[in-house]
Amino acid sequence: MTKNYSSLHRGLVLKYFWQVMRQYKVSFFTVIFTMAVPFILDIFIPLQYLRLWNVISNKDFIDVNHAHLLLLQVLALHVAR
């Protein structure tokens, strides 16, 4: 015996999904947040490497402190990810 799913529409499924999600709001948004943070960091970390590369390629030894801080920042971002 097969069921007829032709009357199911995307709107009905989403409506039911949101009715159930109301009971688990905190869990739902926690999962969304914890999945979004690594994706954002995947974009932000290479930009920090670019800044570090620019500081290193400047060949100015006064900027060693700045390069050190950028390295620590990149390390912290990798740990956070």
User: pTM surpassing 0.85?
Assistant: no
> Strand, coil or helix: what is 59?
coil
Q: What is the pLDDT of residues 34-81, one digit of tens each?
A: 999 889 999 999 999 998 888 888 877 777 888 888 899 999 998 988
81, 38 Cβ separation under 8 angstroms: yes
pLDDT at 4 over 80: no
pLDDT, residue 1, reads 63
pLDDT, residue 11, reads 84
